[in-house]
Amino acid sequence: MNIKQFYIIIFCKKLPQEITEYIWKLVKYEAANTIASAYFKKVAINVLFFQYLLNFDVDSVEIATSEMTSKTVSTVNNVIKNNMYKITYKYIQEPGTWIKKLEDILTLYSYCINIGVKSVDIENIHYMLNSIKNNSELYNVTGLEWWEYF
């Protein structure tokens, strides 16, 4: 028995049955809204970061000046650092696309070293790559990186 239901039943013994049922419906409705809201917020964080990954273009960074590249790299580092622990990796629907875009950002690391600009924090990207792979249920069961063959 749910603890909220237990408290409602205990506190509402003297109330008519219809009122107790009405109160219970309100409690169930509020619990469902809370769960839906929490799930929506988790998915929204994933979607926002995924949109950032999709909009990031490594080729435009390579064309830019070193000052622009430095600002871009700083922004990339901050976005990844701020989101790497907020993302719910089990909710990722397209791990192959995430991995490909994160690997594109890793190519920026070698480019930055060549031009002498502060580079991308590769440890954070590797953490995200490993988390995506380790939280993919199909990968854990089969050991196959199915997105490589898709």
CA–CA gap between residue 5 and residue 20 (Å, rounded): 10
Do 72 and 15 lie in a common domain?
no
Do 95 and 148 lie in a common domain?
yes
Do 81 and 104 lie in a common domain?
yes
Question: What's the number of domains the chain is made of?
Answer: 2
User: Could you read off the pLDDT of 51-69 as tens digits, one per residue?
Assistant: 988 888 777 766 666 677 7
Closest CA to 76 of 42, 122, 35, 111: 122
Chain-wide mean pLDDT for the chain? 78
pTM over cut 0.75: no
User: Could you read off the pLDDT of 99-132 as tens digits, one per residue?
Assistant: 888 888 888 777 776 666 677 778 888 999 999 9
CA–CA gap between residue 107 and residue 18 (Å, rounded): 65
Do 93 and 147 lie in a common domain?
yes
Is residue 65, in this structure, part of any structural domain at all? yes
Q: Which two tokens stand for residue 55?
A: 């909009």
Do 20 and 73 lie in a common domain?
no
Do 128 and 85 lie in a common domain?
yes
- Domain carrying residue 73: 56-150
Do 138 and 111 lie in a common domain?
yes
